[in-house]
Structure formats: structure tokens, C-alpha cells
Amino acid sequence: MAEDEKEGSIRAFLNLGHTFGHAVETYSGYGTYLHGEAVGIGIAMAADLSSRLGWISEDVKDRAIALVKRSNLPTSPPEDMTPDDFIQLMAVDKKNVDGSLRLVLLRGDLGTCVVTSQFKKGKLMDTLNEYCTALG
């Protein structure tokens, strides 16, 4: 962390799942989910989006989600949370730059991440629609 205090490179990879997870925490009220539980949900969602973008294989996605589950962490957001709730809450994430949503996503082998705003918004909506049972 001392090598990358402003989260510009390697430290940013520690934020895998955090943008989705912070949205879950904010939506549900702090304390409803432990931070790690919310991040577990976010990691599953980030893996799903990464797979939809073609950046990781289905096997890597499944492995990432299995690791979250093996840690006894949830992989689904609150049942009443909608895709619009996610979009609104993720829009205020500290990783965003100049109004662009930036996510930490998997690319390549498990453990290889990118911090990017260069993803198809339609694919993000596909992930949100898949994970949100409440479509509002």
C-alpha cells in the first residue's frame, strides 16, 4: 500500500468487487452486510461482467465465484435492489474520473485485473439485470 498510496496501479487491484460492493453497502445501510460480504457480492458481479466482455473465460468466472462461495460469502445483492439502484450508487464511487464509471475487472488469468471505464455499458446492464431479481 505504501508503494501506491493513491491507488493508481497495483493497489487498485485490491478494489476488485468494491464498486459493486459499496453500492450494496450503501443501499442496504451500513451494518446490514459486513464489508467483506458486500465485496464478495461485488467480486461475483465483476467476474460476471468480465466474462460477458470476453475478458476472462467462463472457467475463470466460475472459479472466481466458487472462491467467494467457498469463503462463505454471499454472491447475490439484496432481493429488492434494482439495476437503477446500482447505477445511481456506483456513479458516486471514488474511483470514477470526470464522471466516468471506472471498475476493477478481471482480464486474463485469475488475479489479473484492469481498472477501466472502457467497457460496454450494455454488458454492465446485462450483469445488473442478471443479478438483480427486482428489476424496478
Residue 38 in domain: yes
Residue range 20-71, pLDDT digits in tens? 999 999 999 988 999 999 999 999 999 999 999 999 999 999 999 999 999 9
DSSP assignment of 2-21 equals: GGGTT-SSGGGGGGTTHHHH
Residue 111 in domain: yes
Average of pLDDT values for 4-30? 78
Residue 114 in domain: yes
Residue 15 in domain: yes
2: pLDDT strictly greater than 80 = no
Mean pLDDT, the chain, whole residue set: 88
Domain that holds residue 110: 2-131
Residue 53 in domain: yes
**Number of domains the chain is built from:** 1
CATH of the domain at 96: 1.20.1090.10
Q: By percentage, how much of the chain surpasses pLDDT 90?
A: 68
Residue 136 in domain: no
